[in-house]
């Protein structure tokens, strides 16, 4: 069993945090010279810069199941459109507020799972939802 | 709630809300798909379909193709960071517990906030600062509430961040 005492996971986890931090921040500067729809296009080229080595690593042999690939396609398309909305928000609002607000999306998953799947939530999860609602109000309430 | 209170923030609030909802709705899908597809394969497919969608967006904004070297490099760096983050995250999940890896990586808004405070004239009000702090606390609470720290599970959603 893998445990928290095995520390080899810390470096990549911190790496993910740092590069995602840059992912969230860099478009704000790019928006000085490009529109959101252009940034998303060039971002997709940047994605390829990393996914191509991955494709080499996989020796160009990708798993293929039509139904699964179609669902991945749908998920990716929706993600891209959400990122477009994120860039538009970033264009008009402060980075810290927009990034924090959109990063709270797992809370929405919990609420939807409670409403539609009748999943039970524990007290800590309820506390997280309450905190995120208060945070949201603090972030969007004008001075 | 008085809707007019939100109207002054609508230029960023509404699209941010759209992003929040779409990410929230689609976050569970990759979790299900990862039962049938290996994470690295999914990353490649994600990039491919992301590119196709981006081309669709370009067509929707026809006649407005833009090029500025600085902007292009920054946008490409954004994409590279997004995908690289996925790879790092998957490596962390392979080596360690989901809860701790998720908690650390989900703190990326703190990194973006620090970068914005250092490099941009993007001041936060005290209330917004409290909101950011509470938002980060809610994310950590959510991650800690969701799983047994010593357990390894399938990777989380492979979104572009």
**ipTM of model:** 0.86
Q: Where are the domains of chain A?
A: 12-93, 104-143
- B130 is written with which tokens? 């409290």
Q: How far apart are the first and last CA of chain A?
A: 50
Q: Which pLDDT value is given to residue A104?
A: 86
Substitution target in A7, A10, A14, A16 with the highest count of B β-carbons within 10 Å is: A16
CA distance B48 to chain A (A): 8
Q: What is the pLDDT of residues B33-66, one digit of tens each?
A: 878 888 899 999 999 999 999 999 999 987 677 8
Do the beta carbons of residue A28 and residue A97 sit within 8 Å? no
Taking CA–CA distances from B105, the nearest residue in chain A reads A17
CA distance A69 to chain B (A): 7
Q: What is the pLDDT of residues B92-105, one digit of tens each?
A: 887 877 777 777 88
Q: Which pLDDT value is given to residue B5?
A: 47
The three-class DSSP label of residue B46 is helix
Do the beta carbons of residue B43 and residue B87 sit within 8 Å? yes
pLDDT above 50 for B152: no
Q: What is the pLDDT of residues B132-145, one digit of tens each?
A: 899 889 888 887 77
- Separation CA B107–CA B137 (nearest Å): 9
- 10 Å CB burial of residue A84 (0-12, 13-18, 19+) is buried
Asked if the Cβ–Cβ distance from B49 to A38 is below 8 Å, we say no
- Separation CA A94–CA A103 (nearest Å): 14
- A84 is written with which tokens? 């477009």
pLDDT above 90 for B76: yes
Of A16, A41, A108, the CB nearest to B20: A108
Could you tell me the pTM of the whole model? 0.85
Q: Which pLDDT value is given to residue B33?
A: 82
- What average pLDDT values come out for chain A (143 residues) when binned by 10 residues? 66 92 94 93 93 93 93 91 93 89 84 79 86 86 67
Q: Which pLDDT value is given to residue B61?
A: 84
Taking CA–CA distances from B160, the nearest residue in chain A reads A79
pLDDT above 70 for B161: no
- Separation CA B152–CA B15 (nearest Å): 35
Q: How far apart are the first and last CA of chain B?
A: 32
Asked if the Cβ–Cβ distance from B127 to A19 is below 8 Å, we say no
Q: Does B75 touch chain A (CB under 8 A)?
A: yes
Q: Which pLDDT value is given to residue A16?
A: 92
Buried b (16+ CB within 10 A) or exposed e, A6-18: eeebbebbbbbbb
- Separation CA B85–CA B106 (nearest Å): 11
Residues of A in contact with B50 (CB under 8 A): 44, 47, 76-77, 79-80
Q: Which pLDDT value is given to residue A138?
A: 86
């Amino acid at each position: 069993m893998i445990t928290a005492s095995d520390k080899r996971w810390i470096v990549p986890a911190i790496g993910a945090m740092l590069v995602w931090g840059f992912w969230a921040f860099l478009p704000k500067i790019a928006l000085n010279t490009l529109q959101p729809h252009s940034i998303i296009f060039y971002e997709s080229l940047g994605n390829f810069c990393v996914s191509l080595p991955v494709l080499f690593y996989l020796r160009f042999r990708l798993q293929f199941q039509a139904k699964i690939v179609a669902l991945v396609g749908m998920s990716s398309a929706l993600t891209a459109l959400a990122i477009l909305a994120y860039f538009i928000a970033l264009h008009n609002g402060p980075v810290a507020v927009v990034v924090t607000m959109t990063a709270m999306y797992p809370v929405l998953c919990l609420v939807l799972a409670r409403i539609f799947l009748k999943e039970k939530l524990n007290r800590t999860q309820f506390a997280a939802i309450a905190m995120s609602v208060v945070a949201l109000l603090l972030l969007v309430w004008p001075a | 709630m008085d809707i007019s209170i939100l109207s002054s923030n609508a230029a960023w609030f509404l699209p941010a809300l759209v992003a929040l909802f779409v990410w929230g709705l689609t976050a569970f899908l990759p979790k299900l798909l990862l039962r049938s597809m290996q994470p690295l394969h999914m990353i490649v497919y994600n990039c491919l379909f992301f590119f196709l969608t981006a081309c669709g967006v370009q067509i929707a904004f026809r006649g407005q193709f833009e090029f500025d070297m600085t902007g292009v490099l920054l946008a490409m760096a954004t994409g590279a960071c997004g995908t690289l983050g996925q790879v790092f995250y998957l490596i962390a999940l392979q080596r360690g517990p989901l809860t701790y890896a998720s908690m650390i990586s989900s703190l990326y808004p703190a990194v973006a906030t620090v970068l914005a405070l250092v490099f941009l004239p993007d001041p936060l009000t005290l209330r917004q600062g409290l909101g950011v702090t509470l938002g980060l606390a809610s994310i950590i609470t959510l991650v800690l509430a969701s799983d047994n720290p010593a357990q390894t599970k399938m990777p989380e959603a492979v979104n572009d961040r």
